[in-house]
Amino acid sequence: MREELKELNKYRELLIMITYRDIKVRYKQSVMGFMWAVLMPILIVMSGIVVRYAYALASHKPLGTEDITSVAVKSLPWAFFVSSIRFSCLSLINNKDLVTKIYFPKEIFPISAVMASLFDFLVASCALTIFLIAARVGVGLNLLWIPLLLATMVLTAIGIGMIVSAASLFFRDVKFIVEVFLTFGIFFTPVFYDVGMFGDKGKWLLLNPVSPILEGLSACIVRHQPPDLAWFAYALSFALVSSLGGYVFFKHLEPAFAESI
């Protein structure tokens, strides 16, 4: 394991080059340019506002600024997660010529897919920051939790991304299963809603390892509170186990990639 990680570090410049290539291809000859990075989060936010407004009407509670900002804050990392898994799943198949003809650590492909999606996330974050300033969301020391929460999200995306990218080479219907989960996963993840809206029963939703991260970001940015440490520890543990397990799974199948692609 240590030698394989050293080898991956040796090819870090190649990782940067492939990530840059993925970003360049994504925006090449694009009419909207970087606005594509903002479009999906905007659509998620608009959908979330409709859901929260319907809930406000049903519960006879006014729709507040905090409700809208909470949806906005959680939409960006969710869009990043969906994009990361979607592009990771096809990363080996889309680069089959490089996979079969040139030797280098093939985990570079799913990792670069996550890094390219992270670039989109950073672009969209600029728009989110402007929105939060306009909404007069203040700042506080709890914002220091944000890098750790985002790092946990990135690790989770890399771990799952390596698993689905390798599995999709051997079972081509994996990409369709992934799409189904990504499409309906938003209903089982607190993006449009908060876990607290369901009372004590809402805690079950936090078993989704992405949920504590989104709730933690909302708590830090919108409510100026620290994340729930117990659930954050759970999400971080899942991120570490999934990234390590995903790497082991990927390297175990890597020798058979060339004959299965």
The pTM for the full model equals 0.92
Q: Where are the domains of the chain?
A: 2-260
The pLDDT tens digits along the chain (261 residues) read: 677 777 777 878 989 999 998 888 877 766 666 677 778 888 888 888 888 888 888 877 887 888 889 999 999 999 999 999 999 999 988 888 887 777 888 999 999 999 999 998 998 898 889 888 888 888 889 999 999 999 999 999 999 999 999 999 888 889 999 999 999 999 999 999 888 888 777 788 899 999 999 999 999 999 999 999 999 999 999 999 999 999 999 998 888 887 766
Q: What is the 3-state secondary structure (H, E, C) of the chain?
A: CHHHHHHHHHCHHHHHHHHHHHHHHHHCCCCCCCHHHHHHHHHHHHHHHHHHHHHHHHHCCCCCHHHHHHHHHHHHHHHHHHHHHHHHHCCCHHHHHHHHHCCCCCCHHHHHHHHHHHHHHHHHHHHHHHHHHHCCCCCCHHHHHHHHHHHHHHHHHHHHHHHHHHHHHHCCCHHHHHHHHHHHHHHHCCCCCCHHHHHHHHHHHHHCCCHHHHHHHHHHHCCCCCCCHHHHHHHHHHHHHHHHHHHHHHHHHHHHHHHHC
Residues for the chain: how many in total? 261
